[in-house]
Amino acid sequence: MSPKTNEFLREPPLFDRLRPLLAGHDTPVYLVGGAVRDALLGRPSYDLDFVLAEDTISLAFTVADALRAPAYVLDRERDIGRVILPASGRSSATVLDFARFRGPDLSADLRARDFTINAMAVKAAAEAGEEESIIDPCGGRADLEARLLHLTHPAAIADDPLRALRAVRLSRQLDFEIAPETAAAAREAAPHLQGISRERVRDELLKLLQGPAPHQALNQMVDLHLLPVILPEIAVLHDVEQSAPHHEPVQAHTFSVLRRLLLVEQALAADGTCEDTFVSELHTLLAPYAAELREHLARDVDGNIDGRAALRLGALFHDVGKAQTATIEEDGRIRFFGHDKEGATLTATRLRALRLSNVAITHVRAIVGGHMRPLHLSQVERLTRRAVYRYFQATKDAGLDIGLLTLADHLATHDGPGPEEQWRALLAVVDRLFRHYFHNYEETVAPPPLLNGGELMSALNLQPGPQIGRLLRLIQEAQAAGDVNTREEALEIARLEIGRLGD
């Protein structure tokens, strides 16, 4: 781990422009926290935190003007400003935060942070090639070497209980161990997470779920007593048993689904030569739609929720309704009738409590409520165009997420592909659903109308009312099924329906 400043500043075009601005400031400016940590680990960082003694908002706007980027006042009282540099073709957007020292000087600022690996600094205005010692009052470099998460001081988590959840997120993100005393502090602070703003908890939870190993992170949340406080509906699934073909209780199955979902996501980017049999097979299935599915997962659902986060939330909550719907039949078989609908309601309630947007809640709720549909479709003899149309009418674009989730759910249920006939039937259903959505959208999923409500009323001498919408939906479904192709055929099916109702 080199102490040279230029090895921290891995974006020369950006820092070549920043250095004269920072060097010309009245007081020294320091790069601190995660950016220093990531540089030492050889990881890219797009969140750069700078601290200085005073005039931080003023400096933020000076930097923004020079970089021709937007600047914002985050907290005028605490003197915190932000500059956002838009994403380039090869990288994410870069966020530059400028803040006043937390305390009288830099050392006090660093000692007041959460973990030692986040409590290092380097002078930001040093010239490229100039050697500059890393400022490390808490021993962060030693903990980086040991791959350990240590607190900067014993009360670090008690001062801000959200740091308990952040410890889980960082340990999975970096593949570090949580030191025993840090884990003990997290367990002690767990009940106090109830007093943390729901927005802060939501943001940290979303980062955790979008990390490289969300299933491991959730298991750590169980170990640190965090899950019952943050996701009580998931916590109660721990003791809910399931009958074959399931081989795990509901909570363990849920975590396994998230683990298998990582393989499904991997298959979207795989080149088809992966040694993992499941990934290679899934890649073959998904390859014709991989580009479109990657775009679907990368899209902005709403606010700080992208498609990948929505899918993982759907996986997390997909069986949340099983605790309330479990019944035991005379033969001892455990059933969960209606758990999809009950789960959709519970999901919406929890996501609302976490302050997610209505758009995001609606989408995740649709994933949970519809997650059983592909399994049911795989059990029919033939998947018709009409069934495909009804599937996407019920699920909208969440139907794509459900298709991916059902693959992970099946692999988790059977601890692999399971019975060959069932696995092949499910693959065929997902393939057909995706093929119609991406290749036959206007034929099967959303056929363009052959006539509108006014034309329908005029041609058949009908009065306005609910029946007009119902007739138009009937016509569109007949189009999707391939039974109607012209305006005249559309009118005829409407006449037959009116006659049927008249009888």
Each residue's pLDDT tens digit, 421-457? 999 999 999 999 999 999 999 999 999 999 999 999 9
Q: What is the SS3 string spanning 365-413?
A: HHHHHHCCHHHHHCCCCCCCHHHHHHHHHHHCCHHHHHHHHHHHHHHHH
Assigned fold of 1-146: Beta Polymerase; domain 2 (3.30.460)
Where does residue 110 rank: exposed (0-12), middle (13-18), buried (19+ CB within 10 A)?
buried
**Least confidently predicted of 6-10, 73-77, 155-159, 243-247:** 6-10
Answer CATH for 155-230 from 1.10.110.30, 3.90.1150.10, 3.60.10.10, 3.40.50.150 = 1.10.110.30
Where does residue 436 rank: exposed (0-12), middle (13-18), buried (19+ CB within 10 A)?
buried
Helix (H) or strand (E) holding 80: strand 80-85
Residue listed under structure tokens 């396994």: 256
Tell me the pLDDT band of 281, cut-offs 50, 70 and 90: confident
More confident residue, 269 or 131: 269
pLDDT at 151 over 80: yes
Cis peptide bond N-terminal to 245, omega within 30:
yes
CB 302, CB 360: distance < 8 Å: yes
pLDDT of residue 499: 82
Q: Where in the chain is the domain with CATH 1.10.110.30?
A: 155-230
Tell me the pLDDT band of 317, cut-offs 50, 70 and 90: very high
pLDDT at 282 over 60: yes
pLDDT of residue 424: 94
Q: Closest by alpha carbon to 492, among 456, 443, 453?
A: 456
CA angle, corner 199, sides to 193 and 204, nearest 5? 70
pLDDT at 3 over 50: no
CA–chain centroid gap for 489, Å, is: 45
CB 88, CB 131: distance < 8 Å: no
Residue listed under structure tokens 């549909």: 373
pLDDT at 129 over 50: no
pLDDT of residue 278: 75
pLDDT at 8 over 80: no
**Least confidently predicted of 93-102, 169-178, 436-445:** 93-102
Share of the chain above pLDDT 90, in %: 79
Mean pLDDT of the chain: 91
Mean pLDDT calculated for residue range 100-104: 93
Helix (H) or strand (E) holding 177: strand 177-178
Burial 438-469 (b: 16+ CB within 10 A, else e): beeeebbbbbeebbeeeebbeeeeeeeeebbe
- Cβ neighbors of 94 (< 8 A, separation 6 or more) are 11, 14, 46, 47, 48, 84, 85
pLDDT of residue 381: 84
- DSSP code, position 3: -
Assigned fold of 234-445: Hypothetical protein af1432 (1.10.3210)
Q: Where in the chain is the domain with CATH 3.30.460.10?
A: 1-146
Q: Closest by alpha carbon to 30, among 98, 113, 92?
A: 98
Q: How many CB atoms lie within 10 A of CB 171?
A: 24
pLDDT at 162 over 50: yes
- Cβ neighbors of 263 (< 8 A, separation 6 or more) are 276, 278, 279, 282, 408, 411
Tell me the pLDDT band of 86, cut-offs 50, 70 and 90: confident
pLDDT of residue 11: 47
Q: Closest by alpha carbon to 315, among 251, 376, 270?
A: 251
Mean pLDDT calculated for residue range 282-295: 94
The pLDDT tens digits of the residues spanning 12-67 come to 467 777 888 888 788 899 999 999 999 899 888 888 999 999 989 999 999 999 88
Q: Where in the chain is the domain with CATH 1.10.3210?
A: 234-445
Q: In 3-state terms, what secondary structure has residue 325?
A: helix
CA distance 127 to 131: 9
> pTM of the entire structure?
0.91
pLDDT of residue 90: 53
**Half-sphere exposure of residue 203, counting CA atoms within 13 Å on the CB side?**
8
pLDDT of residue 89: 58
Tell me the pLDDT band of 274, cut-offs 50, 70 and 90: low
pLDDT of residue 471: 93
CA distance 242 to 37: 44
CB 215, CB 221: distance < 8 Å: no
